[in-house]
């Protein structure tokens, strides 16, 4: 003989129900109040305390007075790379071109997509959210390309000017002061 599955479920539900006394209800209410606080303690011990420890370590590393490193002149720096000047120039030029392409493509696509999103009036919210996220990712890629292009432009300038140390006037501040660095990065002109 088959039993109806609904009958067995109803019987199980009836046996699970027990009369709650007022003391049990007070106990359940007390646990409901105290339980979130115990969860907060676990969150604090396992999440906040380790994070604060890592932040203290990072702060100590940032504020640590670094020992002055050895200052190399241009010839020593080139000799330490183990490559010739022509190889270094070619390598930096290729790296610079690759980062410049990322900057132009990422920034250009972000600009075009931003204009298209502004011109479109009736975009669904899901599509608009995807477009904004894509714009942010493309802008980040373009920004990364800009920074890396700036760095390789600086390295090419150091190589061409034959100065790398502070005493030679080859620091990044010297590069920024002596050049139109923004124009050099955007136009992909040689560092002169």
Confidence of residue 99 (pLDDT cuts 50, 70, 90): very high
Taking a C-beta distance cutoff of 8 angstroms, is the pair 123, 131 a contact?
Answer: yes
Domains in the chain: boundaries: 20-63, 74-187
Q: Torsions phi, psi of 127, nearest 5? A: -70, -40
**pTM of this structure:** 0.62
Q: Which of 5, 129, 13, 90 is nearest to 98 (CA)?
A: 90
Task: Look at residue 46 in the predicted model and tell me its pLDDT.
Answer: 86
CA angle 94, 99, 105 (to 5 degrees): 125
10 pLDDT exceeds 70? no
**Pick from 17-31, 79-93, 111-125, 171-185: least confident:** 17-31
102 pLDDT exceeds 90? yes
Helix segments in 44-83, DSSP class H: 49-63, 74-81
Taking a C-beta distance cutoff of 8 angstroms, is the pair 149, 186 a contact?
Answer: no
pLDDT mean over 46-69? 82
Task: Look at residue 15 in the predicted model and tell me its pLDDT.
Answer: 52
77-86 LR contacts (CB < 8 Å, sep 24+): 77/164, 78/159, 85/159
């Amino acid at each position: 003989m088959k039993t109806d599955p609904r009958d067995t479920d109803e019987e199980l539900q009836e046996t699970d129900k027990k009369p709650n006394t007022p003391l049990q209800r007070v106990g359940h209410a007390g646990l409901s109040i105290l339980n979130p606080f115990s969860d907060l303690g676990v969150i604090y011990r396992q999440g906040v305390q380790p994070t604060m420890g890592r932040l203290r370590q990072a702060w100590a590393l940032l504020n640590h007075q670094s020992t002055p490193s050895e200052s190399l002149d241009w010839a020593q720096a080139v000799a330490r790379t183990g490559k010739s000047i022509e190889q270094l120039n070619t390598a930096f030029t290729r790296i610079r071109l690759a980062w410049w392409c990322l900057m132009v493509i990422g920034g250009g696509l972000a600009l075009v997509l931003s204009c298209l999103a502004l011109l479109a009036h009736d975009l669904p919210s899901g599509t608009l959210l995807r477009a904004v996220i894509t714009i942010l990712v493309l802008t980040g890629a373009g920004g990364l390309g800009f920074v890396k292009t700036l760095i390789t432009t600086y390295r090419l300038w150091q190589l061409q000017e034959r100065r790398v140390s502070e005493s030679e006037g080859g620091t990044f501040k010297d590069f920024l002061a002596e050049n139109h660095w923004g124009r050099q990065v955007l136009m992909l002109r040689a560092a002169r």
